[in-house]
Amino acid sequence: MKPRIGIPQALLYHRYYPAWNKFFEELDCEVVDSKASTKETVNAGVRLAVDEACLPVKLFLGHVQYLKDRVDYLFIPRVISIGSKEYLCPKFMGLPDMVRYNIDDLPPIIDTTLNLRDSKLNLFKAALEVGEVLGKGSWQVNKALWKALIELRKHRKEMKDKVNSEAKYKVGVLGHEYIIYDPHISMNLIGKLKKMGVEVITAEMLSKSSLKKGVSHLSKNMFWTLSKQMLGAGHHFFDRNDIDGIIQLTAFGCGPDSLIGEMIEREAKRRRSQPFMTLNLDEHTGEAGLLTRLEAFIDMIKWEGI
């Protein structure tokens, strides 16, 4: 019988799931995800987390709670860095510990450390550690990792190919993938904009060179990978004449968002070149209120004759 690996459908799931799924499949495992977020998922996470935790962490705990009795292992890597001389938010480093502290009766957690700050070769080391837990040899692990990287490259190309050039209006949406692409937390913002005839462009649809150019004006290198991507996308959108408006999604309680979101807002006010709106989401945000603000935002773009 294949071991069942549980992958919570939150946080880095939205960035790496195609690769993680392929990797474990190649190791003869059955991958079980926690399904799409629901109100029950959020409520479960809120009950489990400390009050100070950010919304994405609360949501993650809710997904773990759903999975814990359905799988043989939980895959919750301790991700420190995914880029050279950069880091992720500290919540990714402490995620396995937060899960263990807040949830009882857990199956074994595969919490291998991923730290690519000094060398990309550490990815192979992390993969071998996972293979060791599952009793797999190095040849099978390396083959699985290679196929997983191909799958991830294919997924990212598909994201870039999603641009619909026939839409009348284009709106850049800024925010973390685990907010934008979670239909429950974002209240299907992308779907709502598309129904209004708006083409949505996110950071994941941009090239690395565009994101890099977007942060080239900074006086020092920003070492938070995800925030750097968000800031780079923001400046890229500000510089494009074909972007009719920009919407920024931030999560309540997110430390990096409180800084980067403010930097982007200030730049938007300084330039005044496109309509700009920030939506701060938490577990209490109402869908009707969000829809009203979206409709008003799109109407503003139309009235300004852009």
Task: Identify whether residues 128 and 186 lie together within a single domain.
Answer: no
Q: Are residues 140 and 193 in the same domain?
A: no
- Picking from 160, 186, 213, the residue at the C-terminal end of a domain is 160
Q: How many domains does the chain have?
A: 2
pTM of the model: 0.92
The answer on 185 and 284 residing in a single domain is yes
Question: How confident is the prediction for the chain on average, in pLDDT?
Answer: 92
- 292 and 185 co-located in one domain: yes
Same domain, 148 and 115: yes
Domain check: are 82 and 182 in the same one?
Answer: no
- Residue where a domain terminates, one of 127, 160, 193: 160
Residues 233 and 269 in one domain: yes
9 lies in the same domain as 147? yes
CATH number of the domain enclosing 200: 3.40.50
- Asked if 167 and 156 sit in the same domain, the reply is no
Same domain for 173 and 149? no
State the 10-residue block means of pLDDT for the chain, 306 residues long.
Answer: 95 96 97 94 94 92 96 97 92 95 96 95 96 96 97 91 76 95 92 91 92 87 90 94 93 84 91 90 80 92 74
Q: What is the 3-state secondary structure (H, E, C) of the chain?
A: CCCEEEECCCCCHHHHHHHHHHHHHHCCCEEEECCCCCHHHHHHHHHHCCCCCCHHHHHHHHHHHHHCCCCCEEECCEEEECCCCCECCHHHHCHHHHHHHHCCCCCCEECCEEECCCCCCHHHHHHHHHHHHCCCCHHHHHHHHHHHHHHHHHHHHHHHCCCCCCCCEEEEEECCHHHHCCCCCCCCHHHHHHHCCEEEEEHHHCCHHHHHHHCCCCCCCCCEHHHHHHHHHHHHHHHCCCCCEEEEEEECCCHHHHHHHHHHHHHHHHHCCCCEEEEEECCCCCHHHHHHHHHHHHHHHHHCCC
The confidence score (pLDDT) of residue 305 equals 64
CATH of the domain at 114: 3.40.50.11890
Domain of residue 137, residue span:
4-160
| Residues 211 and 90 reside in one and the same domain | no
Among 106, 134, 160, residue at a domain's last position: 160
Q: Does 247 lie in the same domain as 178?
A: yes
pLDDT at 164: 62
